């Protein structure tokens, strides 16, 4: 890989890792607050899995530039993150959290299937590993979206409110990065041009089964990953607080 392609891959990996890390953190905010014990455990599991995927992507990046995943997660300033607005929003209510996680799982299932065929072997291997448990995630979050969509008046009202807030930002999650074309030319990203359409179609089909209609497709807006939004700042302030007080963790 030449320097340009490597740079593009580092950006791609960082964006994916940051999305997983921030979404995992938002999910983890439910720990101890879940609606019943089993769901509390379940969401903590999903949160750990997403943070685990972030570790995978940071790890592939580390092989390229020698960066330290812990430092990237806990020592980086908000303006250095490449997360999208979709994952940064506060956790909201149960319907919002589960719908967001479901939409993210739908995106991830499509993305991982493509990344598993990457010409960059470490990326393909990491994608293959993450892919298996993502199918289980989809079962769990899909079950909830359907039940909440077809459930009571209140669950339906909350689901529709969540969809209204999340759907316009969904395009930002799946939008290509500026360097993606270079990666597509080098077969590091395969079949990537079809990703966005496939994700939206798959999400629509599942939402229709829950009688949730998002209306028109989200406008294909740029992801604006280089913009520091207040929610990102607030999330990182909490997540990095302990590490900032004691970066080496040598005293309680």
Partner 1 sequence: MRWEVFKQDAPSKPHQAVGSVHGADAEHALLNARHVFGRRPAAISMWVVRADRIYGRTAEELAAEAPRAPVASGNEGTYHVFRKASHRRSMTFVDHLTDVRAAGPSEALAVALAGAGAEPGLAWWVVDANDVHATDPDAAASWFEPAKDKTYKQQSQYGTVAAKRNEGAAG
Instruction: Considering the complex, state which of residue 82 and residue 210 has its C-beta at the smaller distance from partner 1.
Output: 210
Residue 206 beta carbon to partner 1: minimum distance, rounded to whole angstroms: 15
For the record, the structure tokens of 76 come out as 């980086």
Q: Are 1 and 186 in contact (CB under 8 A)?
A: yes
Q: Is residue 242 a contact residue for partner 1 (CB under 8 A)?
A: no
For the record, the structure tokens of 32 come out as 């101890």
User: Which one of residues 32, 37, 215, 230 is an interface residue with partner 1 (CB under 8 A)?
Assistant: 37
User: Which one of residues 1, 42, 124, 243 is an interface residue with partner 1 (CB under 8 A)?
Assistant: 42
Of 86, 70, 72, the C-alpha closest to 14 is 72
Which residue is listed with tokens 């964006």? 15
Stretch that binds partner 1, among 36-44, 87-95, 118-126, 228-236 (CB under 8 A): 36-44
Q: Is residue 209 a contact residue for partner 1 (CB under 8 A)?
A: no
Of 92, 131, 85, the C-alpha closest to 233 is 85
User: Which one of residues 128, 133, 201, 217 is an interface residue with partner 1 (CB under 8 A)?
Assistant: 133
Number of residues that bind partner 1 (CB under 8 A): 21
User: Which one of residues 3, 38, 153, 219 is an interface residue with partner 1 (CB under 8 A)?
Assistant: 38
CA pair distance 28, 51, nearest whole angstrom: 10
Q: Are 18 and 81 in contact (CB under 8 A)?
A: yes
For the record, the structure tokens of 195 come out as 């990703």
Helices vs. strands in the chain: H and E counts, helices first: 11, 0
Instruction: Considering the complex, state which of residue 37 and residue 121 has its C-beta at the smaller distance from partner 1.
Output: 37
Stretch that binds partner 1, among 80-88, 131-139, 172-180, 188-196 (CB under 8 A): 131-139
Instruction: Considering the complex, state which of residue 158 and residue 232 has its C-beta at the smaller distance from partner 1.
Output: 158
CA pair distance 20, 103, nearest whole angstrom: 13
Q: Is residue 251 a contact residue for partner 1 (CB under 8 A)?
A: yes
Q: Which of residues 135-164 bind partner 1 (CB under 8 A)?
A: 135-136, 139-140, 143, 147
Which residue is listed with tokens 């290509």? 176
CA pair distance 168, 165, nearest whole angstrom: 7
Per CB under 8 A, residues contacting partner 1 are 36-39, 41-42, 45, 129, 132-136, 139-140, 143, 147, 249-252
């Amino acid at each position: 890989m030449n320097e340009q392609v490597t740079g593009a891959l580092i950006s791609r990996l960082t964006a994916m890792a940051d999305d997983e890390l921030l979404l995992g953190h938002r999910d983890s905010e439910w720990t101890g607050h879940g609606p019943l014990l089993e769901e509390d455990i379940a969401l903590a599991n999903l949160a750990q899995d997403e943070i685990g995927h972030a570790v995978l992507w940071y790890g592939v990046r580390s092989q390229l530039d020698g960066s330290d995943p812990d430092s990237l997660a806990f020592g980086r300033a908000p303006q250095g993150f490449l997360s999208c607005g979709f994952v940064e929003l506060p956790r909201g209510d149960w319907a919002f959290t589960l719908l967001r996680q479901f939409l993210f799982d739908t995106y991830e299932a499509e993305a991982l299937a493509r990344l598993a065929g990457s010409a960059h072997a470490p990326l393909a291997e990491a994608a293959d590993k993450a892919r298996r448990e993502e199918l289980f995630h989809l079962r769990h979050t899909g079950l909830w979206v359907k039940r909440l969509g077809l459930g009571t008046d209140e669950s339906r009202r909350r689901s529709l409110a969540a969809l209204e807030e999340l759907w316009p930002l969904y395009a930002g999650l799946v939008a290509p990065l500026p360097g993606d074309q270079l990666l597509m030319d080098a077969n590091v990203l395969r079949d990537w041009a079809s990703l966005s359409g496939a994700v939206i179609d798959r999400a629509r089909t599942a939402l229709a089964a829950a009688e949730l209609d998002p209306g028109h497709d989200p406008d294909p807006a740029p992801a604006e990953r280089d913009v520091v939004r207040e929610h990102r700042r607030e999330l990182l302030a909490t997540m990095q607080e302990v590490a900032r007080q004691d970066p080496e963790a040598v005293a309680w």
